[in-house]
Amino acid sequence: MSATHRRILLVSRPRGAASLDNFRLEEVPVPVVGPGQLLVRHHWLSLDPYMRGRMNDAKSYAPPQPLGEVMIGGTAGEVVVSRHPGFVAGDRVVGMGGWQEYALVDEAGAALLRRVDTSIVPLAAYLGPVGMPGVTAWYGLSMICAPKPGETVVVSAAAGAVGSIVGQLARARGCRAVGIAGGRAKCDYVQGELGFDACIDYKAAPDAAALDAALAAAAPAGIDACFENVGGRCLDAVIGRMNAFGRIALCGLIAGYDGTPVPITNPGPILRARLKVQGFIIFEHQDIWPWAASELAAGVASGRLRYRETVAEGLESAPAAFLGLLRGDNLGKQLVRLA
Ligand SMILES: NC(=O)c1ccc[n+]([C@@H]2O[C@H](COP(=O)([O-])OP(=O)(O)OC[C@H]3O[C@@H](n4cnc5c(N)ncnc54)[C@H](OP(=O)(O)O)[C@@H]3O)[C@@H](O)[C@H]2O)c1
């Protein structure tokens, strides 16, 4: 084991779009493991859109990421030294170790560390389809969209970590799955590989009328449920085509994460179609985690649930990969390989 390791701190807050100079890479000694503690070597770092929100000093469902500290982030790795009774060296674990190559975990942190079985599901998948993004997809679809067989479900950011799972679960529940994604290549993946019934390339629809026409063609019987990841003009278009008593699971508003306003310009159908619009934060639904994760793990292990990963190599690549994720450079789950 090397004597030093690298970590990335948040050193300034963005004004508008985040940039590389908001982050600083530094090299520090690998921590010494004390009684009751353990040391995890990270193999994978998860990059997720919520991190952009934490970079702001703003009121939200979680406190801001403090300046000068290691960036928050989900990690998967291996216990390399343990002086904690619940873990042994070699355990594969998933936690919130942050943007760094090693993490020292104390008694309190160990309670949040999850040992995982990599004999049926690869370690990295615990950060994607069988981890937070997959469980988010499962919760929003099953508990809020609650679609019945034969209904039409629309999901935005459909080629991403969450959206790709939403559409496949909707298909498995007997629904028509319609994706919205940026670019022909992403739509080809969503339809051809993930098996969605249709996918709309929003970048090829320059205005509201074009997006509406594309939705009308892809969802000829109207939309019963929407799993919303983006906001702005995608959500506006979907609201206009919702059927009576439709459900909208408001999972994310990534079109606004850099400060761009994402107004709902046409709220009339929410009233006229008696829609339910419900936001949710997956970390508040720990109770469904084992339940959802076991369905997702079975899907991944059997090959029924398909997924892709976009992998950046080395910790130093994390800031650029994160900015790329916010621009849509990723296909599927954005990861950084650390070991
Ligand atoms: N509520 C919760 O608890 C929870 C949990 C996890 C994730 N989320 C949310 O779920 C959403 C998806 O997260 P993810 O991890 O699966 O990310 P992801 O979809 O893998 O990646 C983000 C995608 O967003 C799309 N995007 C970015 N800017 C956009 C814009 N201006 N307009 C339209 N699309 C844009 C891009 O795809 P295109 O190339 O297709 O544009 C990009 O690939 C995010 O909004 C995230 O915040 C919420």
pLDDT digits (tens, 9 = 90+) for 193-240: 999 999 999 999 999 999 999 999 999 999 999 999 999 999 999 999
Distance CA(41)–CA(80), nearest Å, equals 6
Question: What is the reported pLDDT for 2?
Answer: 84
Q: Which two tokens stand for residue 129?
A: 């389809």
> How many angstroms separate the first and last alpha carbons of the chain?
12
User: Distances in Å between the alpha carbon of 212 and those of 25, 28, 47, 153?
Assistant: 45, 53, 32, 16
Q: Are 23 and 51 in contact (CB under 8 A)?
A: no
CB neighbourhood size of 2 (10 A)? 10
What local confidence, expressed as pLDDT, does residue 319 receive?
A: 98
251: helix, strand or coil: coil
* Ligand 1 mean position, distance from CA 339 (Å): 26
How remote is the CA of residue 177 from the centroid of ligand 1, in Å? Answer: 18
> What is the whole-number distance in angstroms between the Cα of residue 42 and the centre of ligand 1?
24
Structure tokens at 138: 């499962």
162 Cβ below 6 A of ligand 1: yes
| pTM score | 0.98
Cα-flanking dihedrals φ and ψ of residue 140, to 5°?
-60, -40
DSSP H or E stretch at residue 320: helix 318-327
CA distances from 64 to 19, 51, 243, 277, 286 (A): 17, 9, 38, 26, 22
Residue pair 335/195 in contact by the 8 Å Cβ criterion? no
Q: What is the average pLDDT score of the chain? A: 97
Q: How many helices (H) and strands (E) does the chain have?
A: 10, 15
User: Is residue 48 within 6 Å of ligand 1 at its C-beta?
Assistant: yes
Percent of the chain with pLDDT over 70: 100
Structure-block tokens of residue 103? 């993490």
User: Which residues, in sequence order, are CB contacts of 25 under 8 Å at separation 6+?
Assistant: 6, 7, 8, 315, 316
* Span from the CA of 161 to the centroid of ligand 1 (angstroms): 8
Q: What sign results for the dihedral spanned by CA atoms 99, 101, 106, 110? A: positive
At 86-113, the pLDDT tens digits run 999 999 999 999 999 999 999 999 999 9
Residue-wise pLDDT for 295-310, tens only, equals 999 999 999 999 999 9
Residue 161 Cβ inside 6 Å of ligand 1? The answer reads yes
Which residue is listed with tokens 């000068």?
68
